[in-house]
Structure formats: structure tokens, C-alpha cells
Amino acid sequence: MATRDSLIQVKDLKKHYNRGAIKALDGVTVDINRGDVMVVIGPSGSGKSTFLRSLNLLEEPTGGSIVFDGVDITSRKYKKVEDSTGRTVTVKVNIDEHRRKMGMVFQHFNLFPHMTILDNMTLAPVKVKGVSKAEAEKKALSLLDRVGLKDRAGAYPIQLSGGQKQRVAIVRALAMEPEVMLFDEPTSALDPEMVGEVLDVMKGLAQEGMTMVVVTHEMGFAREVGSRVLFMADGLLLEEGSPEDIFERPQHPRLKDFLSKVL
């Protein structure tokens, strides 16, 4: 049920392919509240990444709705707002405006290889938000310092380790000052020894109250940092609860089977 703390309301979300023969998502309903660290777990092919990518319409849903900050972004049509005089007017929904409020971190970093780390960090704030170059660089250097990479600002992505690249990808998303951070298996492409440094950055964000939706295979992170855990299989949300509920008191047979294989 949506509350005043709700940031994203997902209702009956569907994503079908081949005229319904493949149901990547088949009626997912969930509310994401401000400050939630929602961790999405489940077997490969369960619809986790499709669900995450649907939240900012990188995947176009087949059906259902996503209401972000009070606006149905799946309608792609119109919303009612108050203008400067206090009158209610109807304007077209601008999905790019809402995407700017959602930071996205992918498996494979998606850094521009021909640009320095600092230039990667400042590109979107300058081009999209109209921030001055000086202000964007000051913010970028502060964020890089936060993750221990300020001294690599002039380096190129090829000169960084996988863990360093992913830390840069996270703070690059933070440079846009998003309301929610979406993580699509952010550690799955990393060597095992690099996973911890990325998870530490994510734990820090959680402690600061950042709203996060995280698709991951890292059960330790889900258990330790998640405020809520979703279990998905076959495009369905089969169980939802606190980490204690999911890991200590699983109810659905599919969840029990999944945990028996990954824990």
C-alpha cells in the first residue's frame, strides 16, 4: 500500500515477449519507500534485471504502471501540475526529467574509455543539468575522494581495476544527485577480491539513507544491508519481507529451494 513515504509504486508490472509467449515480468506489484534498501534476489532468468530496468523505462513495460514521485511515468502522456500562478495545468510527462532522478549502475561500468575519470564524472552534470565546469569538477573530486580515488581523476578507465571502475561508476551516478540509486548486479563482473570494496561504498550509501534498489547475487549484502528483500522467479514476485523473514523464515517452496543452493 502506498504511503506518503512511497517514492516508487509498481503495480501489476508486465513485460512480455513474442506476443506473450515469454513472460519476463508477469504482474509484479511493490512499493519502494524513501530510504529503502530493497534487494532483489532470485535465480538467473527470474526477471530481476528486467524489473530494475523497467523502473526507469530502459525496458518498456507491456502492462501495469510505475508511479515515481507521484507521476505515472509509464503513461508517457500527461500529468497535472501547478504553474507559477497556482493554476493547475496539464503538461506532457518528460521521462528524461525523471530518469535524471534515478542513478543507474550496471554490471560493466559503462565508462567512456576515451575520457579521463574526471571528464566521465563531469559530463552529465555539465551537459544535462547545466552545472558549470568548475562546480562539476569540485563535486566530482569530492565524490572521488569519498571512495579513495581522487588521485586517479586524471587517469583513463583502462588504467583502473574493475573494482575502481565500479566505484567510479557509482559516484558518477551520485554526481547527478539522484533520489534513488538502481544497481544491476554491480559486482558480478568483478574478481572476488574486488567485490568488497564496491559493497563497502554501497553500505556507506545505505547508512546515509539513500534509497536503493539492488539486484545482486551477494546474499551477505542482502542479509546485512537490505531493509527489504524481494524474491523473484519466473517473472513473479513470490516472496517479500525483511532479511530475517526471507533468510530465517522462508515460506515459498521456490525460495526455500533457492536458498538451499546459494547459502
Give the pLDDT confidence score for residue 231 in this predicted structure. Answer: 98
Query: Cα separation of 192 and 234, whole Å?
Result: 28
Query: What integer best gives the mean pLDDT of the chain?
Result: 92
pLDDT above 70: percentage of residues in the chain: 94
Task: Single out the residue of 260, 240, 248 nearest to residue 43, CA to CA.
Answer: 260
Q: Is the pLDDT of residue 125 over 90?
A: yes
Tens-place pLDDT, residues 178-196: 999 999 999 998 998 899 9
Round to whole Å and give the CA distance between 85 and 105. Answer: 39
pLDDT tens for 154-187 read 999 999 999 999 999 999 999 999 999 999 999 9
Q: Which helix (H) or strand (E) holds 41?
A: strand 37-41
Q: d(Cα 61, Cα 92) in Å, to the nearest integer?
A: 19
Cell of 116: 579521463
Residue whose entry in the numeric block shows the C-alpha cell 553500505: 203
pLDDT in tens, 207-239: 999 999 999 999 999 999 999 999 999 999 999
Strand-pair partners of 92: 78
Residue 86 scores a pLDDT above 80: no
